Amino acid sequence: MGKGDKKTKRGKINRGTFGARRPRVKKKLAIETKIDINNKATPK
C-alpha cells in the first residue's frame, strides 16, 4: 500500500490517474456564462 499501489489514493496521485478513490473535481460554471446579457425581459 503506497505509491505503487493502483487502488490507493496515493498511488493514483503518483500515477496521475483518476478513479473511485480519487474522482475528478468538476469545474463550476462562471457567473458570466449563467447570466445572459442579451436575454431581455419581455413585458406581459
Residues 1-43 have pLDDT tens digits of 788 898 899 999 999 999 898 899 888 776 666 666 676 667 7
Q: What pTM, to 2 d.p., does this model score?
A: 0.51
pLDDT computed for residue 10 by the predictor: 92
Distance (Å, rounded) from C-alpha 17 to C-alpha 8? 11
pLDDT computed for residue 33 by the predictor: 62
In the chain, where the domains are located: 1-25
pLDDT computed for residue 32 by the predictor: 65
Distance (Å, rounded) from C-alpha 41 to C-alpha 19? 44
SS (H, E, C) the chain: CCCCCCCCHHHHHHHCCCCCCCCCCCCCCCHHHHCCCCCCCCCC
Residues 19-30 have pLDDT tens digits of 898 899 888 776
